[in-house]
Amino acid sequence: MNNEDSCIIVFAKAPIIGNVKTRLAIDLDESLVVNLYKNFVLDILQKIKSIKIQYKIFYDPPDTEHLMTGWLGADNKFILQQGSDLGERMKNAFTAMFEDSFTRAVIIGTDFPDLPVKYILEAFAGLEKSNAVIGPTFDGGYYLIGFNNASFLSHAFDNMPWGSNMVFKNTMALFNKINLSVHVLPRWRDVDTYHDLKNLIQCLKKNPAGASNTYQFLENAGLINYDKN
């Protein structure tokens, strides 16, 4: 794989109360949730940097680049997400990267700090033989999607029921309908609710290195052995 031709698009939100992990904030203090999210992002970026594939951070909402640079550092490349919904923003991000001469690109979210690096590497390896790659989540969505420039399917992001358990199923149905070859990654868990967080904590107890920043934050916050019931 030629890393110079490949790009990881990281979708991240500015760390503002009410802007990140709102479902998790139903059960936990909002400021704690914001700081937890910040560690999710640090863990994902740490893994991406370790594999030396170019990446761009597409952020939201507008007028928050100063928050992103103050948090993650001005040495990162920040690009504002463009579009009226998630699908349009992802479509536009892919379009921008392919217009910037990249031949392979994947979008990855930031709701799964312990996602194994090997899955990201597998995504790019998959694009060497397939037109697309997708990583399903246990709740019916996906944590990663990618394309080759020549096989980019822009309407894969149109009219999707974002936030529902049908996103992965509907996307695969579209791929299959047009016989687009797709490499499917192993399923993984994102963290949207307190129940999801409890599952993450149990995994990190067994493998703290899976998301070291997140584990350290949870431990310092007294959440590693905390159970709200």
pLDDT in tens, 193-218: 999 999 999 999 999 999 999 999 99
Q: Tokens at residue 160, please?
A: 């999707």
- Number of domains observed in the structure of the chain: 1
Q: What band does 1 get if pLDDT is binned at 50, 70 and 90?
A: low
The answer to whether residue 81 is domain-embedded is: yes
Residues 207-215: contacts with CB within 8 Å, 24+ apart? Answer: 207/114, 210/113, 210/114, 210/116, 211/39, 211/40, 211/43, 211/113, 211/114, 212/43, 212/46, 213/39, 213/42, 213/43, 213/46, 213/113, 214/36, 214/39, 214/40, 214/42, 214/43, 214/113, 214/114
User: Is residue 130 one of the residues assigned to a domain?
Assistant: yes
Q: Is 12 a domain residue? A: yes
What average pLDDT does the chain have? 95
**Residue 204 covered by a domain:** no
Boundaries of domain holding 166: 3-190
Contacts of 179 (CB under 8 A, 6+ apart): none
Query: What is the pLDDT at residue 227?
Result: 58
Q: Is 207 domain-assigned? A: no
- The answer as to whether 208 is a domain residue is no
pLDDT digits (tens, 9 = 90+) for 12-40: 999 999 999 999 999 999 999 999 999 99
Is 163 in contact with 192 (CB distance < 8 Å)?
no
Q: What is the CATH number of the domain that holds 97?
A: 3.90.550.10
